């Protein structure tokens, strides 16, 4: 008999982390491996931000902080929401945690009873269903479609909401598809949510700044009547290339933020003091470098799209945000590799690309949508070009 709790059946290790383990193992054997599997920008954390972290250590800023974040960090978050989103919060409505991930997890843990449902549009970020399961909830997956630009249709949202629904997750720009909801598209969804006052809204805005289209819409700003039941989650990981610093923040109704604070106080206490100081510098500093990054990312996106377009059996529409292609690879399934293995699923294809081309990608099934591959273009252009050549060659070898 297992000594593990029943709840451990409801979670699996993050598939993206598993790919990285395989990539590192191949690299350790001396292979040149390119990882297009990781959801992490390759850019270094900008020096003015890193320096603020160093200064915090030197100033002895190395002790516990207030559970929901230092006063300076909370003020920086409040100013960010006001300046960039037109959202106005009090300090008691804001919480800082060890990544957006921890905050989303705590929000579910604080609100879900056994059997409560969370509407999760697919393709979804790999962690949502597992987090919901660990909190005893049930993920109600709603499949979105490539022909809709991967966007959740208002009528699909309406149909998914039932008496047990506690949350709806909206993630724009989306991981893994890069879909960005326009103000009009967001308004169509918030109109549905307005009709269901018992439902909380999880706005995961972590890719807000990684956009190739103008205009960013977040539910609480789009529909102010939803603000009192929306948790707006964001962080510095993707915008400022600070994944390892582990700082996320969220704002929402006080009763919810209070409950999340209780959970944090009994688990991790506070986010790293040094990282909070660096995140203050990030949020208060200029954002010109982000525009430069987005230009670079757009070039990489276009380069990778070119390759995908050239491969017979693969295709992908132009993503509007984030740093992923979610490429349709259904035309490659059923084909044989040079050693006569038939690629039956997206998993087989990802395994083949890793073995034969030494390129790490993530199978679409990990995001709830089989028949696709997620390719992250968070590597330098020469490396990306090498990856493109390898993928093209490996796909051309299929019969």
Is the bond leading into 176 cis (omega within 30 degrees of zero)? yes
Which of 117, 204, 208, 320 contacts ligand PLP by CB under 6 A? Answer: 204
CB of 208 to ligand PLP, least distance (A): 11
Which of 137, 235, 364, 368 contacts ligand PLP by CB under 6 A? Answer: 235
Q: How many residues bind ligand PLP (CB under 6 A)?
A: 13
205 binds ligand PLP (CB under 6 A): no
Instruction: Give the span between the Cα atoms of 359 and 296, in whole angstroms.
Output: 21
Instruction: Give the span between the Cα atoms of 200 and 116, in whole angstroms.
Output: 12
DSSP 113: P
Residue 157 and residue 192 in contact, taking contact as beta carbons nearer than 8 Å: yes
108 binds ligand PLP (CB under 6 A): no
Instruction: Give the span between the Cα atoms of 304 and 193, in whole angstroms.
Output: 37
Residue 179 and residue 214 in contact, taking contact as beta carbons nearer than 8 Å: no
What mask, x for binding ligand PLP by CB under 6 A, covers residues 24 to 63? ---------------x------------------------
Q: Which residue number, 201 or 398, has a Cβ lying nearer to ligand PLP?
A: 201
Judged on CB neighbours under 10 Å (0-12, 13-18, 19+), 396 is: exposed
Name which of 327, 346, 328, 349 is nearest 398 in CA terms: 349
182 binds ligand PLP (CB under 6 A): no
Question: Residue 2 CB: number of other CB atoms within 10 A?
Answer: 7
388 binds ligand PLP (CB under 6 A): no
Closest residue to bound ligand PLP by CB = 99
Q: Which stretch binds ligand PLP (CB under 6 A): 94-102, 275-283, 362-370, 379-387?
A: 94-102
Q: Which stretch binds ligand PLP (CB under 6 A): 97-105, 209-217, 312-320, 371-379?
A: 97-105
Name which of 77, 35, 52, 86 is nearest 274 in CA terms: 52
Instruction: Give the span between the Cα atoms of 340 and 124, in whole angstroms.
Output: 33
Q: Which residue number, 165 or 171, has a Cβ lying nearer to ligand PLP?
A: 171
Q: Which stretch binds ligand PLP (CB under 6 A): 95-103, 113-121, 142-150, 302-310?
A: 95-103
What mask, x for binding ligand PLP by CB under 6 A, covers residues 111 to 140? --------------x---------------
Helix (H) or strand (E) holding 324: strand 324-328
268 binds ligand PLP (CB under 6 A): no
250 binds ligand PLP (CB under 6 A): no
Helices (H) and strands (E) in the chain, counts: 13, 12
Instruction: Give the span between the Cα atoms of 248 and 33, in whole angstroms.
Output: 30
Q: Which stretch binds ligand PLP (CB under 6 A): 5-13, 96-104, 213-221, 384-392?
A: 96-104
CB of 244 to ligand PLP, least distance (A): 9
DSSP 174: -
List all residues 6 or more positions away from 235 whose beta carbon is below 8 Å from its beta carbon. Answer: 99, 100, 206, 247, 248, 249
Q: Which residue number, 374 or 390, has a Cβ lying nearer to ligand PLP?
A: 374
Instruction: Give the span between the Cα atoms of 329 and 310, in whole angstroms.
Output: 12
Q: Which residue number, 182 or 243, has a Cβ lying nearer to ligand PLP?
A: 243
319 binds ligand PLP (CB under 6 A): no
CB of 235 to ligand PLP, least distance (A): 4
Q: Which residue number, 101 or 209, has a Cβ lying nearer to ligand PLP?
A: 101
Instruction: Give the span between the Cα atoms of 304 and 36, in whole angstroms.
Output: 11
Q: Could you list the residues that contact ligand PLP (CB under 6 A)?
A: 39, 99-101, 125, 171, 175, 204, 206, 235, 237, 243, 248
């Amino acid at each position: 008999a297992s000594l593990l709790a029943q709840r451990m059946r409801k979670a699996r290790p993050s598939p993206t982390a598993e790919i990285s383990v395989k990539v590192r193992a191949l690299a350790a054997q001396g292979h040149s491996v390119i990882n297009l599997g990781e959801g992490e920008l390759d850019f270094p954390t900008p020096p003015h931000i890193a320096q603020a972290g160093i200064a915090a250590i030197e100033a002895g800023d190395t002790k516990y902080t207030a559970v929901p974040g230092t006063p300076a960090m909370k003020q920086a978050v409040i100013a960010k929401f006001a300046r960039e989103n037109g959202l106005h919060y009090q300090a008691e409505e804001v919480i800082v945690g060890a990544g957006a991930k921890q905050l989303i997890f705590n929000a579910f843990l604080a609100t879900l009873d056994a059997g409560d449902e969370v509407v999760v549009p697919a393709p979804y970020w790999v962690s949502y269903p597992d987090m919901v399961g660990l909190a005893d909830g049930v993920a109600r997956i709603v499949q979105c479609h490539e022909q809709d630009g991967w966007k959740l249709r208002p009528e699909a949202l309406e149909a998914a909401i039932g008496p047990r629904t506690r949350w709806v997750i909206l993630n724009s720009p989306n991981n893994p598809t890069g879909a960005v909801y326009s103000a009009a598209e967001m308004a169509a969804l918030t109109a549905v949510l307005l009709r269901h006052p018992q439902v909380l809204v999880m706005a995961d805005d972590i890719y807000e700044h990684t956009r190739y289209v103008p205009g960013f819409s977040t539910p609480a700003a789009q529909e102010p009547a939803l603000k009192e039941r929306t948790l707006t989650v964001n962080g510095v990981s993707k915008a400022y290339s600070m994944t390892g610093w582990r700082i996320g923040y969220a704002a929402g109704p006080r009763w919810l933020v209070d409950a999340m604070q209780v959970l944090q106080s009994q688990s991790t206490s506070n986010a790293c003091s040094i990282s909070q100081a660096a995140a203050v510098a990030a949020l208060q500093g200029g954002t010109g470098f982000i525009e430069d990054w987005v230009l670079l990312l757009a070039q990489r996106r276009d380069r990778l799209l070119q390759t995908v377009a050239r491969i017979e059996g693969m295709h992908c529409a132009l993503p509007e945000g984030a740093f992923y292609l979610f490429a349709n690879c259904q035309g490659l399934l059923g084909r044989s590799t040079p050693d006569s293995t038939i690629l039956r699923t997206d998993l087989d294809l990802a395994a083949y690309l890793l073995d034969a081309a030494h390129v790490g990608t993530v199978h679409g099934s990990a995001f709830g949508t089989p028949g696709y591959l997620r390719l992250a273009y968070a590597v330098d252009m020469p490396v990306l070009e090498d990856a493109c050549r390898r993928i093209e060659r490996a796909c051309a070898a299929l019969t």
